[in-house]
Amino acid sequence: MLLKTYNQKYTDISKISTKLISNTITVNGWVRTTRIQSTVAFIELHDGSTSKTIQLITENLELIEKLKVLTVGSSLSISGEVVKHPVKDELVEIKILEILYIGKIEDPITYILNAKKTSLEALRDHMDVRVKTRTFTAVFRIRAGLSKAMHDFWGNLGFHHLNPNIITTSDCEGGGEVFTISTLLNEKKQDIPTIEKTDIIDYNKDFFQKRAYLTVSSQLQLELLCAGLGKVWTSNKSFRSEKSKTNRHLAEFEHIEWEVAWANLDDLMDLSEQFTQYCFSYIINNHKDDLEELNKFTSKGIIEKLESFISKPYIRITYDEALEILEKSNITNLPKWGDDLGSECEKYLADVHFKHPLLVYNYPTVLKSFYMKQNPDGRTVQGCDLLVPGLGELIGSSVREENYEKIMLIINERKMDISSLKWYLDMRKNGSTPTAGAGLGFDRLVRICTGIENIRDAVPFPIAYQECKF
């Protein structure tokens, strides 16, 4: 059975052109500028469908009087006739015939959009206003476009889109930066159950009869799904309780993860390159107006930057080769073999040395998680990070260790608690399937595609360390 067609009663500004001249249409939106005189009124309106605006005009004195309450940010719905623009041949404007709705600003003097210049940081405290600005309508349209692009990309490759549970009993990577979920805190402090003769909370008496967390990654569940479906991906939310206030970190973020059976490290690097270049190309081809808008005000050079990312293949170097390059740099605190490269080194490699996205692979075993497959040398694993200019790490990926005995050897060496991993280890014990996968912070991808410096401005409602306002 076919669904009924959505009968839209108004026309998006993005669809208004010279083809509609002499037609009467309804337009809804928000006021960007007004110029109201005694005998004529001009209103510049935007509606979220495009970075472009439409000019509304009237010489009707009764309508002009009603329009005088409009200021920047007011909402407006009108019925009008599409007419040729008197100056610009390729453009049109709308002659207002009837005002259908006005949502005025209660106190225009204190309304933040009336300020001459407002910082992106200040706008984070005014979410009702932020979404009406040129910058953020462009950013959020690009974000929505990227969501469509990734569904197209993975769908065309035959990957199954599945979102595993976000409440879990495992912290996946063993980093410990997790948010605990509990109903016990609803009780009075003296009523919170503890293990006998200790101050330790007894989670056996909690909702799940064990300690539970918000997930930091859906990877382990995707490995299990991959063992029967072959190719899977998720756009799940993940959560990290990392106490970081940098412009790259959030406590809640959209986590794009994929897992594929029978893949090797080269396959992984190819996928990371193809996926990100597809996304960059999609935005260049489908969001030119938004990129041009950002290029004018907040993100100079963003178009050229994205074009350079798709102009050639990504560089591929080993961790050892990265260290050799860094040794010749002027970075003061150089990492030693076995250390994480760190954000300063990642940015040097991507922004200064190569000036292009690069894939760094074969990291030291001691640096990475238990599930990563070791190389024959035993000292490195088949893990890879994608580093991008202007950001640093965008994707972390690895081939997974499919051998149960080898996994248990690492777990025992690291003295890990495996009580919450029984299901995962059973998967690797019985008919284990070789898999490889990766994870990408979608908000970081948005940041790259918009040129926005702070990741909090790439997210509609940012949740970060010491920041939860909604």
| pLDDT digit string, tens, across residues 163-194 | 999 999 887 665 668 999 999 987 677 788 88
Residues of the chain with pLDDT under 70: 1-6, 172-176, 187
Burial of 120 per CB tally in 10 Å (0-12, 13-18, 19+): middle
Predicted confidence at residue 116, as pLDDT, reads: 75
For residues 170 and 420, is the Cβ–Cβ distance under 8 A?
yes
Predicted confidence at residue 176, as pLDDT, reads: 63
Over residues 234-250, the pLDDT tens digits come to 999 999 998 888 888 89
Domains contained in the chain, CATH given: 13-116 (2.40.50.140), 135-164+223-457 (3.30.930.10)
| Distance from C-alpha of 113 to C-alpha of 124, rounded to nearest angstrom | 13
Predicted confidence at residue 461, as pLDDT, reads: 94
* Beta strands 315-318; 358-364: pairing state: parallel
Predicted confidence at residue 1, as pLDDT, reads: 46
Predicted confidence at residue 117, as pLDDT, reads: 80
Coil, strand, or helix at residue 250?
coil
| Distance from C-alpha of 293 to C-alpha of 136, rounded to nearest angstrom | 10
């029978």: which residue's tokens? Answer: 262
Entry pTM: 0.94
Predicted confidence at residue 420, as pLDDT, reads: 86
Predicted confidence at residue 90, as pLDDT, reads: 75
